[in-house]
Amino acid sequence: MKIPQIIECVPNFSEGRNLAKINEITRVIETVPGVKLLHTDPGKSTNRTVVTFAGSPKAVIDAAFLAIQKAAELIDMATHKGEHPRMGATDVCPLIPISGITMEETVKWAKILAERVGKELHIPVFLYEAAASAPYRSNLADIRTGEYEGLAEKMQDPRWKPDFGPHLFQEKCGATVIGARDFLIAYNVNLNTKSTSLANEVAFDIRYNGRPKRNTETGKLEKDNEGNVIRIPGTCPGVKAIGWYIDEYKLAQVSMNLTDMKQTNLHQAYEACANSAISRGMHVTGSELVGLIPLHSMLEAGRYFLQKQGRSLGVPDSELIETAVQSLGLNAVAPFHPQERIIEYMLQQKQQPLIGLNLRQYIYETAADSPAPGGGSASAYLGALGAALGTMVANLSAHKKGYEADHDFFSQEAQKGQALCEGLLNLVDADTEAFNEIMKALRLPKNSPDEKKLRKKAIQKATIQAIETPMNTIKLAYQCFDLIRKMALKGNPNSVSDAGVGLISAYAAMQGAALNVKINVVGLENESKKQEFLVQTNEYMAKAQTEFPEIMKLVEQKIGL
């Protein structure tokens, strides 16, 4: 299953006091389908509001454009005052890849947005971070030097011509900085002390900027030939940190910004703090996440701690997340609710009604006098059962005494099986959704030639969706064969019958899905496309028909028959 592309946008607007204006800006963001407003954080002293929203790339770009346009209408930079550095009505607008999209792809979207803002809104735009047009223009602070008041003079310097938009000073709106950067995690680690100085010692140990180097004899700061203070770098690249005391919690914390998760991720920062704290006579007593976090960061942490425990990594996402929460102590100072703190979960707009049912409810829903869920949905569920049984054998084998040498092999296979489970479970609902799309298309009006043409086009589009969904079931269920073959050969012999039942379930899933492909292909008018689907289905089924008895024979031999 293809992971949907999600990017986050965190524009900073130069208005933090007039709630009516702030609400107008956020309102236009919410008008764009496919975008979800996640957080609005106005600051009175800074006179600045940070807005967070996310969604599909095109939708996010549209929403960002509307917000920048609205801010330019409402905010007059000529009268703006605030403590935070700024240079425009929309001061900065970063795009952040969340899932299913690379930084390189995100940069392309940032440039599309920047070009559109410059061309249509006539606002000078500078690119920064990963989208920067030159290395010296990468750092936001460098671009912002001189702020709004120095912008007119700065833009006369050829080195600081805007990347897009007019090269002349715009008094009302100023200029905007647009770019792409990694997700920043604000994360605090709790210490069993009230000492800010001790918390700072830990911060100095782990933050990338480290601490100033002092002469061991004189205690004076050491400097290089140019007079700059020499620093001893900390252990965590991409981490900024300070120590502070939180009276509300009655403890000191190491407060961190994790700016590059490829270099230092959540659990690595936690472990670095824990090691430093122990070396200084303290203990870490938990941690606190500020704001949102990407799903993959929580899953990475869960896998890390499971691996330390010598357990298989082939478990559901929910177990990985719970392992991360418990191991990092994320409930220590306040309850941690994954549905409210993981960005992908907050973005879930479409419910999956079938896989949310219990077994009895699903059976009764299938048995009801409605055509959906039907055979396609049931086939996907059979496939998920097949994957789950193969995964179970892998997990049991990974933990079995005497199988230690193959622990990593079984853990890796269990992870593959878990991915197959998730993919097939998603198809349980996808099949019903595909059927509903056909019914929706059939209900379209057909009173005029144009309406008939649109209706016919919609029916054909929905039919292809109704074919591709069981086609995906066939593909994923067939992948279960390889997992189950390996478990029959190398897995825990006490569970080999479970592998056999998994094989039967996966094969039945393929057979049922094949029937669904064939019945829906009948309604497809594109003959070449029809043959393509049929040939592909027959090829998969031929392979399955050959391999099913071979693998079942391995199962029976392992049983002793």
Indicate which CATH number applies to the domain containing 156: 3.30.990.10
**Which of 183, 182, 162 minimizes the C-alpha distance to 173?**
162
As a whole number, mean pLDDT of residues 550-556 equals 95
Q: Are residues 46 and 115 in the same domain?
A: yes
Q: Are residues 175 and 190 in the same domain?
A: no
84 carries an active-site annotation = yes
Does residue 351 have a pLDDT over 60? no
Q: Are residues 490 and 474 in the same domain?
A: yes
The DSSP bridge partners found for residue 48 are: 43
Is 94 within 8 Å of 179 (Cβ atoms)?
A: yes
* DSSP conformation class of 222: P
Q: Are residues 393 and 495 in the same domain?
A: yes
Residues of the chain with pLDDT > 70, as a percent, come to 99
Band of residue 2 on the pLDDT scale cut at 50, 70, 90:
low
- Specify the long-range contacts of residues 545-551, CB closer than 8 Å, at least 24 apart: 547/481, 547/485, 548/481, 548/503, 548/507, 551/481, 551/484, 551/485, 551/488, 551/503
The answer to whether position 353 is within a domain reads: no
Q: Are residues 431 and 489 in the same domain?
A: yes
**Angstrom distance (rounded) from CA 284 to CA 270:** 9
Helix-strand-coil percent breakdown of the chain, rounded to 5? 55, 15, 30
Task: State pLDDT tens for residues 244-292.
Answer: 888 888 999 998 889 888 899 999 999 999 999 999 999 999 998 877 8
**DSSP symbols for 444-502:** S--SSHHHHHHHHHHHHHHHHHHHHHHHHHHHHHHHHHHHHHHHHHHS-GGGHHHHHHH
**Structure-token match 């700016």, residue found:** 259
Enumerate the H helices of 335-406 as residue ranges. Answer: 338-341, 343-347, 359-367, 375-398
Task: State pLDDT tens for residues 442-488.
Answer: 899 988 988 889 999 999 999 999 999 999 999 999 999 999 999 99
Q: Are residues 382 and 304 in the same domain?
A: no
Does residue 339 have a pLDDT over 90? no
Catalytic residue among 80, 84, 296, 399: 84
The answer to whether position 244 is within a domain reads: yes
Q: Which of 81-90, 523-532, 540-549 has the highest average model confidence (pLDDT)? A: 540-549
Does residue 168 have a pLDDT over 60? yes
As a whole number, mean pLDDT of residues 407-424 equals 93
**Angstrom distance (rounded) from CA 115 to CA 125:** 8
Task: State pLDDT tens for residues 186-198.
Answer: 889 999 999 999 9
Q: Give the pLDDT of residue 352.
A: 63
Band of residue 340 on the pLDDT scale cut at 50, 70, 90:
confident
Does residue 46 have a pLDDT over 80? no
Q: Which domain holds residue 176?
A: 6-180
**Which of 113, 102, 98 minimizes the C-alpha distance to 56?**
98
Write down which residue in 288, 318, 347 finishes a domain.
347
As a whole number, mean pLDDT of residues 295-316 equals 93
Q: Are residues 440 and 478 in the same domain?
A: yes
Q: Give the pLDDT of residue 349.
A: 52
The answer to whether position 352 is within a domain reads: no
Token output for 286: 């938990």
Q: Is 379 exposed, middle or buried (0-12, 13-18, 19+ CB in 10 A)?
A: buried
Q: Are residues 163 and 233 in the same domain?
A: no
- Specify the long-range contacts of residues 270-274, CB closer than 8 Å, at least 24 apart: 270/189, 270/301, 270/328, 272/205, 272/206, 272/235, 272/236, 273/189, 273/191, 273/202, 273/206, 274/189
**Angstrom distance (rounded) from CA 218 to CA 385:** 70
Q: Give the pLDDT of residue 409.
A: 93
Number of domains in the chain: 3
Q: Are residues 152 and 84 in the same domain?
A: yes
What one-letter code names the amino acid at 221?
L
Write down which residue in 154, 180, 206 finishes a domain.
180
Q: Are residues 428 and 554 in the same domain?
A: yes
What one-letter code names the amino acid at 523?
G
Catalytic residue among 62, 429, 431, 498: 431
Q: Are residues 427 and 297 in the same domain?
A: no
Peptide bond into 373 cis (omega under 30): yes
Write down which residue in 283, 312, 347 finishes a domain.
347
More confident residue, 348 or 129: 129
Complete edge-to-edge strand list for the sheet that includes strand 239-246? 239-246, 251-258, 185-191, 284-290
As a whole number, mean pLDDT of residues 68-94 equals 91
The answer to whether position 275 is within a domain reads: yes
Q: Are residues 490 and 395 in the same domain?
A: yes
